Amino acid sequence: MRLAAFFLFTAALYAQPGQLTPAQPSYTMQDGNLKLKLPAGLEGVGIEQRLDRQVPLNLTFRDESGRDVALSTFFYSKKPVILAPVYYRCPMLCTQILTGLESCLKAVSLNPGQEFEVVAISFDPKDTPALAASKKQTYLRRYGRPNTANGWHFLTGDETNIKAFLDAVGYHVKYDPRTDQYAHASGLMIATPEGRLSRYYYGVEYAPRDVRLGLVEASQNRIGSPADQLLLFCFHYDPATGKYGAIAMNLVRFAGAAFSLVGGLFVFIMLRRDVRAGKRVRNG
């Protein structure tokens, strides 16, 4: 299983047109155990969870129109924020990340700009505001939900601010000057309205239920519905997988409470029926 996971991880990092086929993994023997050795191009690449870490909101980027904006701008409204580290010149993987996010949010009734914000941040200093604007228009058109354009933001920046952001969220990339591309992992983060990292999601496809629950939790239940509160009672976020899983004991408690409620209602109806029947007999 570990070997299969390694190959999938390697393919995800390098499955981009125009790049060389990644080197085959080599192996080393340490303490009698066979261990995988990453190719040089993948060393140091990955996502390191920094749950509850404060994102430095004083960092400055450029928005789609080329204006300088502080990262704090997107937290003024006190909404949770989906953070998407990507780069817009990426020929494949970053497009899949943004497409997966857009497809996921289509299935979530919460609206960008109203209940939460979406902030894509390029980690490539060569990306331009014009390219960011083009990406924004592409995904707004695909998303197709009216009155949400103010909730999607595509930022670019310089090396200093990009590095500070990536270090804060634990997102490690590696530039390959031969191909002028980046080796990187795929994933998203949710930050609380105060800018603290709350949830990580991995891959290029994101379960709408998991993202919705992550947004509700990050907002401290200020968004969402009673049904979301019920789901959060029965499901718990697992940092290792970036998914929500059922909590067995809470499910048992919920089932017991539901059974007691239904049983109590049934007994009440039957007793009420018996009382009415007794009254009819006495009056008859």
- The 10s digit of each residue's pLDDT in 45-75 is 999 999 999 999 999 999 999 999 999 999 9
CA distances 115 to 33, 67, 78, 88, Å, are 50, 24, 9, 26
> In the prediction, which pLDDT does 29 show?
45
Residue 282 falls within a domain, yes or no? Answer: no
Instruction: Please report whether residue 266 resides in a domain.
Output: no
Domain span at residue 128? 46-219
> Which helix (H) or strand (E) element contains residue 254?
helix 248-283
227 contacts 234 by C-beta, under 8 angstroms: no
What are the start-end ranges of the H helices in 107-243?
129-143, 159-169, 208-218, 226-234
Give pLDDT < 70 ranges for the chain.
1-41, 221, 223-236, 246-284
The single residue listed with the structure tokens 């409620």 is 261
Burial 12-26 (b: 16+ CB within 10 A, else e): bbbebeebeebeeee
Q: What is the pTM of this model?
A: 0.73
The residues with which 118 forms a beta bridge, in sequence order, are 82, 152
> Three-class SS of residue 184?
coil
Report the distance separating Cα 136 and Cα 66, nearest Å: 13
Q: What is the pLDDT of residue 284?
A: 57
pLDDT of residue 233: 59
Same domain, 215 and 106: yes
Q: Which residue has the tokens 């408690």?
A: 253
Question: To which residue do tokens 């009698």 refer?
Answer: 32
Q: How many domains does the chain have?
A: 2
Are the C-beta atoms of residues 124 and 158 closer than 8 Å to each other? no
Q: Say what the pLDDT of residue 238 is.
A: 81
> How far is Cα 121 from Cα 156, in angstroms, rounded to an integer?
6
| CB atoms inside a 10 Å sphere around CB 202 | 15
Answer whether residue 30 is part of any domain.
yes
**Residues paired with residue 221 on neighbouring β-strands, in sequence order:** none
Domain match, 30 and 77 both: no
Domain match, 84 and 179 both: yes
Q: Are 10 and 147 in a shared domain? A: no
Same domain assignment for residues 76 and 34: no
Q: Please check whether residues 155 and 178 belong to one and the same domain.
A: yes
Q: What is the pLDDT of residue 235?
A: 66
